[in-house]
Amino acid sequence: MNHNRPPLLLRIAALFVLLFLNLPVWIIALYAFTTDETTYTFPLPGITARWFSVAWNRADMWQALSLSVRVAGIATLLALVIGTLAAAAVSRSKFFGRESISFLLVLPIALPGIVTGIALRSALGLMEIPFSFWTIIVGHATFCIVVVYNNVLARFRRTSWSLVEASMDLGANGLQTFRHILLPNIATALLAGGMLAFALSFDEVIVTTFTAGQQSTLPIWIFSQLTRPRDRPVTNVIALFVIVITSIPILLAYRFTQQGDLAEERKK
Amino acid sequence: MQPAISFVNVSRHFGEVRAVDDITLDIMDGEFFTLLGPSGSGKTTSLRMVAGFERPSKGEIYLHGANVSQLPPYERAVNTVFQDYALFPHMSVAENISYGLMIRKVPKAERMRRVEEMLALVRLPNLGGRKPSQLSGGQRQRVALARALINRPPVLLLDEPLGALDLKLRQQMQIELKIIQQQVGITFVYVTHDQEEALTMSDRLAVFNNGKIEQVGSPSEIYERPGTAFVAGFVGISNLISGSAAEAIAGSSESFAVRPEKIHLAEAGTPVPDGRLSADGRVRQVIYLGMYTRYTVELDLGGELTVVHQNLETTSMDVLAARGKRVRLMWNRTHMQPIGD
Amino acid sequence: MQAVKRVSLSQRISNFLFLRPRLFLALLLLPPILWLGVVYLGSMLTLLIQSIFYLDDFTGQVVREFTLRTYGELFTQSNLDIIGRTAGMATAVTLAAVLLAFPLAYYTTMHATRRSKALLYLSVVLPLWSSYLVRVYAWKLILAKEGIISWFFTQTSLSWVLEGLLRLPGIGGPSLSISPIGMFLVFVYVWLPYMVLPIQAALERVPASLLEASEDLGANALVTFRHITLPLAFPGVVAGSIFTFSLTLGDFIVPSVLGNSSFFIGQAVLSHQGTSGNIPLAAALTTVPMAIMALYLIIARKLGAFEAL
């Protein structure tokens, strides 16, 4: 850390960028209470809370929400299993093609969503598989794997292998060692990775558009609302709800990896 | 009598590297046996093969007559104390210690009782509820020991367990470990690179070098009658005399080793008594080490000898004055050890 | 320890796998490789396969014959316009993102206390992970003709500036919320965290001792920055630019929400595979951003960006 006082210009610039990043989202909170239902007039003509109950009664919104939750749940589960297996393999052994595995895992999230989306769409088209609940999940799980993988891999690397040896030395076989020693040590990494994966899946719209057919997840529902002027504040209410809901797992995941993150950053 | 541990022509290769190269060794019941050697000499790998963390590339390992070479660690009747202690961070001290019993489904009441016993043995009463992160290095080391001993293994393996401790604590633990071993009565196999530690604690030791065992014997045998130049140099300070100097002093051009504390430093021209050999030279360096002083003497015949004297009567002023003086070195013929190499 | 006569199944599996570490490794890797291989690589393969088919205009069906005519369609003026428009926007967004990200990353690394560093990190990461769509939507509100920004310009008597901007050809539009300027702003906003984090990571890796040595040798802050900090942070900049460039190339949400009728690559792909069912053209069009990014990645690797990821 530089002990000189940072130049004023730098501080102003940094503050500006910080505000630029964080303020816009909270503007939505403001608009959730406006009485104006067709435009985005500022200043707000009036304040009301009735949009919350209107939103509550929108059946299509609930359907979309339920679909999003179910998809995110199952995709996260799949990602947890596959990501942990991959992390276990990569952290422990040096094998031919180890870096390729890491590269392969990161591709679905590194390449633009549209590429993953159209690729899956092509496959579905070629094999004449109809769109369904499961086609959405397949897409989501694929890019969620790397999120779990990164978290669990980092934790595996920080776990000393002599713990496993000690456990075996004391009479525990592989399965018992996993249950009593490894699992407790990676538990919070699994939790953090899982929550990030959930948030990622819950929010995803691009790949979903290509694999969902007629169904709407919540982001797709929001997207369709954006082009419709009816009940605009309802969209604002839902948007506000989404921000709050996705902030919670993010903050929790951050808490779980916080000490680890700071330690890693200091090491770099 | 059947040995507790037997290595029979054991080798361990890592690709081209021979970490352990064809060793054969018997360790008897109740011994405190040390594997001594520099880093990379194969001592740790040998220990790990007994524990089961490595499998021999060639040869067999026997525990009380049974061939365990292919058995996983959890099926061998040995326990290990690790260099980094490997205490489970998410468990308390008591849970750590009782882990082996818990795995074997020993009922809780008995587990608790035996944990108390162990805590008393390693002199850490009342620390059962703490977490490893709350303990000092020395305390963690004792918990690791307790965790291993509670399973009543016939053999305990210790992989440089005192390496992370400071000198005073290390010396104290060396004595404590020895006492515990005698109290419990089981075989201890101890790995270290510290020759002083090895000499202090062991009943017998094996000196490793480059994957092979150079010599096996009791501390006094190893120290006073080193079998090879390496052993002479690694354990204690060796003075090697060979070639023409050996010829002139001892009448044979074989290599000889003489321990520095066995050499008497006398003024030049002192008459040489019967049964002693001598060499003349000049004191090149004097290092005062409190308890004793170390002199490096350049011999007229070529080469150098290191001489160590207890500072019984002398002070630092006295000894430092010796620098540059001409001296006569004398030692007992019986203290010269021929080195075959 | 006694030998147990009845060995449980889990014990037997454990023993079996213990003696065969390579088999165990293969078993661990099997599900991930199967999944990614089949699902991901497999579908990428079908993407390429689709792009060499073509759509018969008359029947509206995809004809499964090898042909390059779909790729040929990419070279029509309208498609080239689409590609150029998208690439241009991606470049502009990347540049702006670097300019904005650097001060924040620099401040966080070099001047923030440990407490505020965590807070700053969080305030970059939280927007990143919270809903992308909602964040785009927020700007629709802000940039609306009757919204906050217009109100602000009116209050400060600067609305003529705003109108002038909107009248500029190529980047203007009927309102900020339906114009390339608006799109540019939103793109920079949503991708900014992707630029801040790698730059911050690269700056964190600059050892303080280097900076101190530079000062010790007589360089002032500006010189140290130019000759030491900047070159060392460069891989982070390149890494961040990979994200901003790639994400802009493929996006269709921002152009849909804030754009006019001129398509970006993402919208074109979406529309082709949608009602018209022209998957071959959609696939062929998608290979363009892939090719651009592959080239970009090769250059980036040469510039050492992958250490910063």
Contact: A14, C108; criterion CB under 8 Å: yes
Same domain for B285 and B169, yes or no, is no
C positions 219-278 inside 8 Å of A (CB): 221, 246-247, 249-253, 256-257, 265-266, 269-270, 273
The strands making up B66-67's β-sheet, listed across from edge to edge, are B17-27, B5-14, B58-63, B66-67
CB A111 within 8 A of CB A207: no
* CATH code where residue B33 lies: 3.40.50.300
The tally of domains found in chain B comes to 2
* CATH code where residue B294 lies: 2.40.50.100
Q: Is the pLDDT of residue A194 over 70?
A: yes
| A215 — pLDDT class (breaks 50, 70, 90) | confident
Q: What is the mean pLDDT of chain A?
A: 84
Tell me whether C15 touches chain B (CB under 8 Å).
Answer: yes
Average pLDDT (C152-177) is: 80
Return the closest-CA partner of residue C105 out of C245, C185, C206.
C206
Cα–Cα distance, B222 to B34 (Å, whole number)? 12
| C219 — pLDDT class (breaks 50, 70, 90) | confident
Q: Spell out which residues of chain C touch residue A222, defining contact as CB-CB under 8 Å.
A: 133-134, 137
Q: Give residues with Cβ within 8 angstroms of B138, minimum separation 6.
A: B165, B169, B173
The reply to whether omega before C289 is within 30° of 0 (cis) is no
Same domain for B154 and B281, yes or no, is no
Name the neighbours of B, counting chains with at least 3 Cβ pairs within 8 A. A, C
CB C119 within 8 A of CB A262: no
Q: What is the mean pLDDT of chain C?
A: 84
Of C1, C14, C19, the CB nearest to B70: C19
Q: Which of B44, B54, B82 has the highest number of chain A CBs within 10 A, making it the mutation to test binding with A?
A: B82
Contact: C211, A199; criterion CB under 8 Å: no
CB A21 within 8 A of CB C127: yes
B positions 82-111 inside 8 Å of A (CB): 82-84, 86, 88-90, 99-100, 103-104
Residue B245: inside a domain, yes or no? Answer: no
The answer to whether ipTM exceeds 0.90 is no
Same domain for B229 and B259, yes or no, is no
Q: Most confidently modeled of B201-210, C155-164, C176-185, C233-242?
A: B201-210
Taking the alpha carbons of B80, B86, B88, B94 in that order, is the dihedral positive or negative? Answer: positive
Q: Is the pLDDT of residue C5 over 70?
A: no
Flag the least confident range among A143-157, C31-45, C142-156: C142-156
CB C55 within 8 A of CB C278: yes
- A128 to A121, A123, A124, B326, C276: CA distances (angstroms): 10, 8, 6, 101, 17
What tokens does C189 get?
Answer: 């906003």
Task: Give pLDDT, residue C301.
Answer: 76
| A230 — pLDDT class (breaks 50, 70, 90) | low
Same domain for B95 and B174, yes or no, is yes
Same domain for B305 and B185, yes or no, is no
- When computed from its CA atoms, the radius of gyration of chain C, rounded to whole angstroms, is 26
What tokens does A83 get?
Answer: 């990501």
CATH H-level, domain C77-307: superfamily? MetI-like (1.10.3720.10)
State the burial class of residue A265 (Cβ atoms within 10 Å of its Cβ: 0-12, 13-18, 19+): middle
Q: Is the pLDDT of residue A77 over 90?
A: yes
Same domain for B211 and B300, yes or no, is no
Same domain for B178 and B226, yes or no, is yes
Identify the closest residue of chain C to B104 by CA–CA distance: C1
Task: Give pLDDT, residue A264.
Answer: 45
What tokens does C252 get?
Answer: 């269709």
Q: How far is CA B323 from the centre of its chain?
A: 34
CB A250 within 8 A of CB C129: yes
- C298 to A142, A188, B330, C302, C304: CA distances (angstroms): 25, 36, 75, 6, 10
Contact: A175, C293; criterion CB under 8 Å: no
Return the closest-CA partner of residue A263 out of C212, C114, B132.
C114
Same domain for B52 and B173, yes or no, is yes
C216: left (phi over 0), alpha (psi -120 to 50) or beta: alpha
Same domain for B82 and B204, yes or no, is yes
3-state secondary structure chain A: CCCCCCCHHHHHHHHHHHHHHHHHHHHHHHHCCECCCCCCCCCCCCECCHHHHHHHCCHHHHHHHHHHHHHHHHHHHHHHHHHHHHHHHHHHCCCCCHHHHHHHHHHHHHCCHHHHHHHHHHHHHHCCCCCCHHHHHHHHHHHHHHHHHHHHHHHHHHCCHHHHHHHHHCCCCHHHHHHHHHHHHHHHHHHHHHHHHHHHHHHCCHHHHHHCCCCCCHHHHHHHHHCCCCCHHHHHHHHHHHHHHHHHHHHHHHHHHHHHHHHHHHHC
Instruction: Give me the residue spans of the domains in chain C.
Output: 9-51, 77-307
Closest Cα of chain B to A90: distance in Å?
Answer: 20
Q: Give residues with Cβ within 8 angstroms of A92, minimum separation 6.
A: A156, A161, C25
Instruction: Give me the residue spans of the domains in chain A.
Output: 59-267
Q: Is the pLDDT of residue A261 over 90?
A: no
Q: Is the pLDDT of residue A56 over 90?
A: no
Tell me whether C76 touches chain B (CB under 8 Å).
Answer: no
Cα–Cα distance, A225 to A234 (Å, whole number)? 9
- Say how many residues make up chain B: 341
What tokens does A207 get?
Answer: 């790949």
- A251 to A255, A256, A257, C95: CA distances (angstroms): 6, 9, 10, 30
Average pLDDT (C203-217) is: 84
Residue C222, classed as helix, strand or coil, is helix
**Phi, psi values for residue B35, rounded to 5°:** -100, 110
Cα–Cα distance, C244 to A245 (Å, whole number)? 26
Task: Give pLDDT, residue A2.
Answer: 54
Task: Give pLDDT, residue C309.
Answer: 45
Same domain for B195 and B284, yes or no, is no
Closest Cα of chain C to B41: distance in Å?
Answer: 26
Residues of chain B with pLDDT under 50: none
For B23-68, the pLDDT digits (tens) are 999 999 999 999 999 998 999 999 999 999 999 999 999 999 999 9
For C254-298, the pLDDT digits (tens) are 998 888 888 899 888 888 888 778 888 888 889 888 888 888 888
Return the closest-CA partner of residue B43 out of B174, B178, B202, B193.
B193
Q: Spell out which residues of chain C touch residue A235, defining contact as CB-CB under 8 Å.
A: 137
Give the Cβ contact number of residue C167 at 10 Å: 9
Cα–Cα distance, B147 to B157 (Å, whole number)? 12
Same domain for B282 and B189, yes or no, is no
| A266 — pLDDT class (breaks 50, 70, 90) | very low
Task: Give pLDDT, residue B134.
Answer: 93
DSSP state of C69: H
Q: Is the pLDDT of residue A262 over 80?
A: no
Task: Give pLDDT, residue A1.
Answer: 47
Domain that holds residue B322: 254-339
Contact: B72, C19; criterion CB under 8 Å: yes
What tokens does C286 get?
Answer: 């998608």
Task: Give pLDDT, residue B217.
Answer: 95
Q: Is the pLDDT of residue A267 over 70?
A: no
Of C36, C142, C249, the CB nearest to A112: C249
Query: Which amino acid type is present at position A79?
Result: A
Q: Which residues of B touch C (CB under 8 A)?
A: 70, 72, 74-77, 104, 151, 153
3-state secondary structure B17-43: EEEEEEEEEEECCCCEEEEECCCCCCH
pLDDT > 90 in chain A, percent: 25
Contact: A166, B82; criterion CB under 8 Å: yes
Q: Spell out which residues of chain B touch residue C14, defining contact as CB-CB under 8 Å.
A: 72, 74
CATH assignment of A59-267, among 3.20.20.140, 3.20.20.10, 3.30.565.10, 1.10.3720.10: 1.10.3720.10
Q: Spell out which residues of chain A touch residue C189, defining contact as CB-CB under 8 Å.
A: 20-21, 24
Q: Which of B55, B64, B67, B74 has the highest number of chain C CBs within 10 A, making it the mutation to test binding with C?
A: B74
CB B44 within 8 A of CB B82: no
Q: Is the pLDDT of residue A13 over 60?
A: yes
Task: Give pLDDT, residue A83.
Answer: 94
**Phi, psi values for residue B19, rounded to 5°:** -70, -40
What tokens does B70 get?
Answer: 């292919």
Tell me whether A242 touches chain C (CB under 8 Å).
Answer: yes
Cα–Cα distance, A10 to C112 (Å, whole number)? 12
| C248 — pLDDT class (breaks 50, 70, 90) | very high
b/e per residue A172-191 (b: at least 16 CB within 10 A): bbbebbbebbbeebbebbbb
Contact: A6, C142; criterion CB under 8 Å: no
Tell me whether C204 touches chain A (CB under 8 Å).
Answer: yes
Task: Give pLDDT, residue A268.
Answer: 39
Q: What is the DSSP annotation of C277-302? A: --HHHHHHHHHHHHHHHHHHHHHHHH
Which residues, in sequence order, are bridge partners of residue B189? B33, B157
Tell me whether C192 touches chain A (CB under 8 Å).
Answer: yes
Closest Cα of chain C to B77: distance in Å?
Answer: 5
| C307 — pLDDT class (breaks 50, 70, 90) | low
Tell me whether C18 touches chain B (CB under 8 Å).
Answer: yes
Residue B240: inside a domain, yes or no? Answer: no
Closest Cα of chain C to B139: distance in Å?
Answer: 27
Task: Give pLDDT, residue C304.
Answer: 65
Of A114, A126, A174, the CB nearest to C18: A174
Return the closest-CA partner of residue A79 out of A191, A212, A175, A157.
A191
Residue B242: inside a domain, yes or no? Answer: no
Average pLDDT (A239-244) is: 84
Q: Give residues with Cβ within 8 angstroms of A33, minimum separation 6.
A: A44, A47, A48, A49, A51, A233
Cα–Cα distance, A191 to C271 (Å, whole number)? 38
Q: Are strands B5-14 and B155-159 parallel, antiparallel or unpaired?
A: unpaired
Residue B210: inside a domain, yes or no? Answer: yes
Q: Spell out which residues of chain A touch residue C137, defining contact as CB-CB under 8 Å.
A: 28, 222, 226, 235, 239
| C90 — pLDDT class (breaks 50, 70, 90) | very high
Q: How far is CA A159 from the centre of its chain?
A: 25
DSSP state of C228: I
Tell me whether C7 touches chain B (CB under 8 Å).
Answer: no
Residue B82: inside a domain, yes or no? Answer: yes
Residue B239: inside a domain, yes or no? Answer: no
Tell me whether A172 touches chain C (CB under 8 Å).
Answer: no
What tokens does B105 get?
Answer: 């489904």
Task: Give pLDDT, residue A263.
Answer: 47
Tell me whether C130 touches chain A (CB under 8 Å).
Answer: yes
Name the neighbours of A, counting chains with at least 3 Cβ pairs within 8 A. B, C
Which of B199, B234, B269 is the last residue before a domain boundary?
B234
Same domain for B175 and B230, yes or no, is yes
Closest Cα of chain B to A188: distance in Å?
Answer: 12
| C4 — pLDDT class (breaks 50, 70, 90) | low
Average pLDDT (A130-149) is: 90
